[in-house]
Structure 1
Amino acid sequence: MINRVVLVGRLTKNPELRYTPNGVAVTSFTIAVNRPFSNQQGDRDADFIPVVVWRRQAENAANFLQKGSLAGVEGRIQTRSYENNEGRRVYITEVVADSVQFLEPKGARHAEGSNFAAPVPSSPDQHSYAPSNRQSNSGGQNQGAPSFEDPFANDSKPIDISDDDLPF
């Protein structure tokens, strides 16, 4: 049997961090994932999916994600039930995340005038580049924000590559 889920979406509210009586961290949040098609009015609907994260990933999610953050979630679907105060059985379906990826820099959505267009490497040895529409850091805007330049931009110089360097 296979029970695997991969989602990319935005958090609908700030994550809630709690600890079990044994001191294990658990964070829950809801992620809004756009549907791949439009409704009859031309609007795109979204699904709101509850996510639960455990241990160190839970603490990281609570510390670095906030309402509106773009996140990638990988995990499994789990169903559970309980009896509420009225004696009714309540069923819950949620994603138990094995991995949560932060897909934009902290505060990028909330930075005023930010035209961030490049993904941030998730580890120091990963390199991702994309052109940015930002001006240089003038007037104090975007101070401390990473600057990404296209290393393959046309600088009008010939590229010196020997046939031995080509993989084909």
Structure 2
Amino acid sequence: MTNIAILTGRIARDPDTRETKGGTNVTGITVVTDRPARDKDGKTYKDENGYTAKESEFHRVTCFNGLAKTVGQYCTKGQLVSVQGRIHYTQWEDKDGVTRYGTEILADKVDFLSRGNGSGENDDNKDAPEID
């Protein structure tokens, strides 16, 4: 049995990097992916500009150790990335005693498909690792 997730999308906000009490580096990013929007009959439709309408989905991605350092240092909002990892489900009780559930991708690999904010205007990541 296999649990593999592959996402390609843009980073929604700048990475959130921290270090645990045990010294593990952890970086969280949110990756936005798009898919064609569908009407009540299940058919795709055009937006007001004549393009196929899209619906966005936001995915929490967590990176650890060396990958966390690299992603925290070189990734920025708007950057196009490809993430490979596994789906992880969590369950906890909030302060009111309500059971909450969450889903995230625990990343094994993050490829930088663009640099900087994705606009091509301000390339702040000149020293980012090259991706083949």
After TM superposition, give the deviation of residue 70 of structure 1 in Å: 0.5
Q: Partner of 2:28: helix, strand, or coil?
A: strand
Q: Normalization by structure 1: what TM-score?
A: 0.64
Alignment of 1:102 with 2:102, yes or no, is no
Judge which range, 21-30 or 101-110, deviates more: 101-110
Q: Partner of 1:23: helix, strand, or coil?
A: coil
Which residue is 2:80 aligned to?
A: 70
Q: How does 1:50-69 map to 2 (within 5 A)?
A: 50-69=60-79
Q: Which amino acid aligns with 1:30?
A: T
- Structure 1: distance between partners of 2:32 and 2:84: 14
Q: Partner of 1:91: helix, strand, or coil?
A: strand
After TM superposition, give the deviation of residue 20 of structure 1 in Å: 0.8
After TM superposition, give the deviation of residue 107 of structure 1 in Å: 4.8
- Structure 2: distance between partners of 1:22 and 1:51: 21
Q: Which has the higher contact order (CA 8 A, sep 6+)?
A: 2
Identity %: 28
Paired residues of 2:80 and 2:118 also in contact (CA < 8 A): no
After TM superposition, give the deviation of residue 121 of structure 1 in Å: 5.0
Which residue is 1:151 aligned to?
A: none
Which residue is 1:86 aligned to?
A: 96
Unmatched 5+ residue regions in structure 1?
Answer: 115-119, 127-168
- CA radius of gyration, larger in: 1
Q: Partner of 1:56: helix, strand, or coil?
A: helix
1:20-77 per-position Cα deviation (integer Å, ceiling 9, x unaligned): 1011100111100111x23345211111111000001011111111111101000000
Report how many residues are paired.
Answer: 116
Q: Which amino acid aligns with 2:72?
A: A
- Structure 2: distance between partners of 1:107 and 1:13: 10
Q: Partner of 2:115: helix, strand, or coil?
A: coil
Q: Normalization by structure 2: what TM-score?
A: 0.80
- Structure 2: distance between partners of 1:87 and 1:105: 43
Q: Which amino acid aligns with 2:12?
A: T
- Structure 1: distance between partners of 2:99 and 2:37: 34
Unmatched 5+ residue regions in structure 2?
Answer: 40-44, 47-52, 124-128
Q: How does 1:129-168 map to 2 (within 5 A)?
A: none
Q: Partner of 2:100: helix, strand, or coil?
A: strand
RMSD over aligned CA atoms reads 2.0
